[in-house]
Structure 1
């Protein structure tokens, strides 16, 4: 492993991640980078657990989706474990899918039928919360070395921060957009019904509560229709 070249690749990826305009684009860049940065990696994706459901984000190959769905159906597997792990292991690895001594007896033989030779799963986390797992796949047995695992872990650690930052930025943008729409709706109500700012906001709030509709949606309707009727 040429660690100098790896460091340069990571630096380039870091700049690229900062340049992405959405959470989706950031995740796509992370998984695409894994193929070029981690030796032996043929495909990559991010598995996130939402309750009892598995969601696959930014898969680079259908193989990733198939593996995640298999883990959800069987409720076991290295990436499934990585995504729900809050203590202990941060890296899960299957060096050879023909090894029958693996800890996931239901998943391993079925995954082998998908064409998997080896894989790794890395917990994605920040100081505040676990996000899921970065999954790296190879169609070749024994494709991942200790150096590959180290590179994958460094990538996953960096990716988690980028993911969290991109999501926070998206939430901020949404909050600003929501505030703008609400302000515009209040202005329409104030001009149409000669209301004060406080009275206009109270109209929005009461309608939202009485009809169980989000305040942002109520404001959007007013902006589009000119009223709530």
Structure 2
């Protein structure tokens, strides 16, 4: 049985890797990850990813139902709970029965009232600017075991890779946009003042230094004056 389950995990991870390689959003990839979690971890009834950014800004992504967002919101409001703990500090946080769980005295009875009795949260290593956790919940107690933790850890690593890849793509696009704007501004200055490429860049750089303004912002101002003659 264990051999078949390991094979299923390997097959599903290969599928996830192939789909992640295409032009897809991080939300689409994480939705595939949470769907895979439900398929591969028998005890899980619902799953989602919680991301926590600077200033406590948070979002629920890839939820397989409305419940993970509801539970995330509850934890962020109460400032306690397994998803927050996994995202910010612990690597794996497992609760076998929320009815007897005393680590979160406000959160635990609240989720029991909702009908959730056990949970498994796994930290995502997403970078210093963002904390995250892959979260699984079940309506019965003792739904998760060591094997569930192993499968969940593999899926969490895939989710983290998708988030990091998405961020790198956004940063690349930002860098390309910055380069393009500086290039446009240089072209305008070269044409307007009959100077070469090097002199145009020096003029931009001096304006940036003298006004204590980012070079890309100075470039945008030059572009905005293009129609002024």
- Shorter-chain-normalised TM-score: which range? 0.7 to 0.9
Unaligned runs of 5+ in 2: none
CA distance in structure 2 between the aligned counterparts of 1:39 and 1:209, rounded to whole angstroms:
60
Which aligned pairs between 1:98-113 and structure 2 lie closer than 5 A?
99-113=99-113
Q: 2:6 matched to which residue of 1?
A: 3
SS at match of 1:104: coil
How is 1:45-194 mapped onto 2 (pairs within 5 angstroms)? 45-60=48-63, 61-85=65-89, 89-97=90-98, 99-125=99-125, 129=128, 131-194=131-194
Change (3 A) 1:222 1:57: farther
> Can you give the 5+ residue segments of structure 1 that lack an aligned partner in the other structure?
none
CA distance in 2, matches of 1:228, 1:145: 69
Which whole-Å deviations, capped at 9, do the CAs of 1:98-121 have from their partners, x for residues lacking one?
x22432111111122333232211
Moved more, 136-145 or 205-214: 205-214
2:32 aligns with 29
Q: CA RMSD in A?
A: 3.0
In the alignment, the residues of structure 2 paired with residue 202 and residue 30 of structure 1 have an alpha-carbon distance, to the nearest angstrom, of 49
In 2, distance between residues paired with 1:210 and 1:228? Answer: 23
Which SS does the other structure have where 1:121 is aligned? strand
Deviation per residue, 1:110-166 (Å, 9 max, x gap): 12233323221111116x657421112233433323322221111112322332233
1:220–1:62 distance in 2 versus 1, CA, 3 Å: farther
Structure 1 contact 63–114 (Cα < 8 Å) conserved: no
What number of residue pairs does the alignment pair up? Answer: 224
Which of structures 1 and 2 has the bigger CA Rg?
Answer: 2
2: CA distance between counterparts of 1:175 and 1:23? 20
Query: 1:183: Cα distance to partner?
Result: 0.8
The within-5 A match list for 1:194-213 is 194-205=194-205
The alignment partner of 2:44 has SS state of coil
| Whole-angstrom CA distance in 2 between matches of 1:63 and 1:210 | 54
CA shift in 2, pair 1:55/1:101, >3 Å: closer
